[in-house]
Structure 1
């Protein structure tokens, strides 16, 4: 019985179509290895295994994915990194909120009670901003000795009174002393409680180092 052999052109066509089918299947499946089919002379139809072809990873949009140079794998944010980013964002928000509250407090004038305690505390805040030394105890002690806490107290019998410039106010200050040591930001009135205290503390700081060092008539 005579043998029948396909013409060489037919064999080449069959192999070429096989190549096309194999390549199409590999591309559709996203395979990472491929099998190369090589035409052989004569009637050989065996296939030769070759080294796997490297396939570059792609992202969801079909674009090449960036890879970590150390592992050659796509870089992905770890859970720990995501947690760090979230923590930093929370800290930023907290800092912004704290700054906002601080600005609100700064823009709201501090309120003081209209009594001896409030006058002393307001004066202390002004003294602190101006760099004038003195404590609550030092102010209170001298006020009680000089005027018993009466902002309208006036000395009508000492040498200053005889000279026509009586001592007045909580810390018994004469007008010339008040005018010299008056602190900007306080009322320009000798008997104003806060202005009187602050001017007297400023005078005592220059002469005695601090109102705290005054324990008698000054």
Structure 2
């Protein structure tokens, strides 16, 4: 509960861009430009992220209402794997490593709205500022993408993705909490499904005869 209250106050007040807070343009960027973040789900267990806000290491608050689509990984069935790729990122970009983050998401498979709040480890900044080698073109490689896996029961898993295509590193945040129902705060009323949820695509056939939550997440 302490995590929830602290993040709510900082994001709601900080989001006003008080005069003492720096603007993004005043803080520069990472050595490789902006870092990105992406959301994905296990095969046929869809979810949609509707809003995100980040407080970064330069005390800049960034809000995202237009987000890249959450992708379904056809190779993630029954359990996570560490080599999912984020694909192209267009909107989900920020200037400095995150310190706090909150995002709102509709779990279609759960038929619920969730609110996930995260406090990252201080060591994340160093990891994102340290080259990992070179890619196949000879360019410096970095851990410059955060991957968020969204699974049934509101489960969230996080990785750092190597731009050279190496194995992703699972992350353990300092604190993480996911809320729903009457415990929603920042995400209360934020949904793309105000009239309810309907299964579509591969989902009805995929879950037929299977037991929820359809794997070990």
TM-score of Structure 1 vs Structure 2, range by shorter chain: under 0.3
Structure-1-length-normalised TM-score: 0.18
Structure-2-length-normalised TM-score: 0.18
Q: Which has the higher strand share?
A: 2
- The structure having more radius of gyration, on CA atoms, is 1
Query: More relative contact order in 1 or in 2 (CA 8 Å, sep 6+)?
Result: 2
